[in-house]
Amino acid sequence: MKGAMDVSSINSINPILMEFLHRSAVAKLPNQIREVYQFIESKENQLEEISFNETQFIHLMNERSPYKAAADHFSINISSIKDIMDDAQAKIDRVIKDRCDRIKWIDYTDTIRSKQGNKNNQWCFIFVS
């Protein structure tokens, strides 16, 4: 098949596709784990939005720890929150890697051009199995 190739590196994946794969993997987490993960992710995103730079972000992460906020919110100790987050991230990474290993990029540019007679448009088809 002309133009087909296996994607061997997650780093070569389009950031928009990676965001989709991440959201999909998070959605597959068990409810309680997903709730904790999304709570902390939301807190981290809020801190990122109000930070002017990386140094301020790190300062805010220490000052307004999302892990401590999650521990208080869910009435769980911080150590257990960390274990939940480590487990969630490992599951998310595994799901994303498995899906990336199955992605095939297929270039149909020549086929589309010959059928439409248009030399300016470039087309690409992504098949995710």
What pLDDT, in 10s, does the model give residues 20-49?
A: 999 999 999 999 999 999 999 999 999 999
Does residue 125 fall inside a structural domain?
A: no
For 97-109, the pLDDT digits (tens) are 998 888 776 666 6
Running DSSP on this structure, what letter comes out for residue 126?
A: E
Domain limits at 54? 14-102
Neighbour tally for 53: CB within 10 Å: 8
Residues 6+ apart with CB under 8 A from 75: none
Residue 112's H or E segment, with its range, is helix 109-116
Is 122 within a domain? no
Asked whether residue 19 is assigned to any structural domain, the reply reads: yes
Residue 60 lies in a domain: yes
Residue 75 lies in a domain: yes
Domain contains 69: yes
Any domain includes 127: no
* 2-6, 11-15, 61-65: the lowest-pLDDT one: 2-6
Q: Considering its fold, how many domains does the chain have in total?
A: 1
80 domain-assigned: yes
pTM to 2 decimal places: 0.73
